Each structure stands twice: as structure tokens, then as C-alpha cells.
Amino acid sequence: MKILVCICQVPDTVTKINLKNNDTAVEENGVTFVINPYDEWYALVRALELKETGLAQAVHLITVGRTVTEPIIRKALALGGDEAVRIDAESTDPYVVAHYIAAYAKTVGYDLVLCGKESIDYANGAVGPMVAELLDLDHIGFATSIVLDGNTATVKREIDSGEETDSCSLPLVISCQKGVAEARIPNMRGIMAARTKPLKIVVPAAVENLTSVSYYELPPAKAGVKIIGADEMDELVNLLHTVSKVI
């Protein structure tokens, strides 16, 4: 069994974001980039667990991005990925990203495609389902558990009213979230091995963007905290009533 794990580069959540070009682009200088946590902590680690238990023979990585994304690819390889593919393009359009990934996946043929439920920058949650549609495969989203038995995957997923369990035949695309696996830290042996693991650069398939970013807007600054003394209960009650009406 071969598993393909989709990863993407996102700004670290503690990085301060600044805008440029009349708020139409993000200033990348000084920004720390990481692997999207949903891709790394859950999708990738679960794929590695499946390989370690003998249920998968190879774990391949794929990302869409320029040369600047290669450090996060090498980290994913250090965690245990066997080889990686970088689609040499950049896009904020999830359909284009999904099209690039699906076009490559068709040339190889994977039994299982894993990705995070969403990226923490755009939070669209669209690439996984689109990849499945373009590959004409079933898709299960918001997975919290993945168990393989032969050619069948049993997947627990979060839904609005609780949790459901689905059973589906491979090949399959699954979008993962918290619960699927526990985060790992690459060890020195993995870091050294990652330097020599294959990283293939692929020319993107031809496709036009369906969407584009008009502008970005930073969230409003957080308001200050108001301290209410123990002897000011009337003021506290008044504030609670006022805030509840605003909400």
C-alpha cells in the first residue's frame, strides 16, 4: 500500500502578520513558516503509524509551492516520509492546488490520500474533498480515527451531533483532525536521513484559477481588561447585562 500525504506551508501561529501592496499580500520577511499542524500532527503521523505496523509500504509527501517550501518538506521527511514531491507553483485557489495534486496522484496511483481537515491560514477545508472529486474517489472528512483491515478503512469522524463511524473501500481520501494521531518531533537520525531522501520537482498541470484574493484585513486589536472590585457587584451585574445584550 502506498500513502500520499498532502502538506502545506503556513505561518506559525505566534508570528506577527503584516500586510503589503495595499493589503493585497502578506509580508513574508520575518515570518516563521511551519508545516500546517493538521497535516503534520495528524495526517502525516497517522500515515507513518500505518507504515510502522506493516499496513503500508511507502509514505510519500506532496506540496504545492516554490523553493521556499523545501525546509518544511525536509522536516516532514525527517519525521519519516520516504520521498516527497514539490509542485513548482503557488496559488491561494484551493481548486488549483487540488488539481495539481490530483494530476500528479493519477500518474502514480495511491491506495490512500491523507490531508489535514484545513490549513490554519485560509481554513477553507476544501482541498481534500476536491482532490477526492478530481480522482473520482470517496472522501471522509473530520476523521478522528483511521483503522485499516485489508482493503477496508473504518473511520470515526466528528459530526455536529457527535460522532459517526464509516466503512469504505480503498482507494480513499481522508481529511484528518485531532484524535487521529499524536504529534511527533523528528530525531537527529531522521533529520540526517532527510537530507538524502528524494525530493522531486514537478511542473504543474495546466489549470486556471477560479478565485483570487481581493485584499486582506487584520482582525481588530483586542480590547483592554476591566477589573471589577469585590465591592462593586452592582457594576459587575450591569456590565454582564450590557455585554449579553451586545452579543
Give the whole-angstrom CA distance, residue 83 versus residue 42: 18
155 to each of 143, 184, 209, how far by Cα in Å? 6, 22, 32
The CATH number of whichever domain residue 97 belongs to comes to 3.40.50.620
231, part of any domain: no
- Tell me if the pTM is above 0.75: yes
157, part of any domain: yes
CB contact set of 204 (below 8 Å; sequence gap of 6+):
64, 87, 88, 89, 100, 103
**pLDDT(246) > 50:** no
Nearest 5°: phi and psi at 179? 115, -30
246, part of any domain: no
**pLDDT(244) > 70:** no
Give the whole-angstrom CA distance, residue 208 versus residue 214: 17
pLDDT tens string 82-102: 999 999 998 889 999 999 999
210, part of any domain: yes
Domain interval for residue 65:
2-219
Give the whole-angstrom CA distance, residue 3 versus residue 223: 46
Residue bearing cell 500528479:
104
pLDDT tens string 206-231: 999 999 889 999 888 877 788 888 88
pLDDT tens string 172-214: 999 999 999 999 999 999 999 999 999 999 999 999 999 988 9
If one counts the domains in the chain, the total is: 1
Give the whole-angstrom CA distance, residue 120 versus residue 124: 9
118, part of any domain: yes
Whether the Cβ atoms of residue 158 and residue 144 lie closer than 8 Å to each other: yes
86, part of any domain: yes
**pLDDT(245) > 60:** no
233, part of any domain: no
97, part of any domain: yes
Give the whole-angstrom CA distance, residue 224 versus residue 221: 9
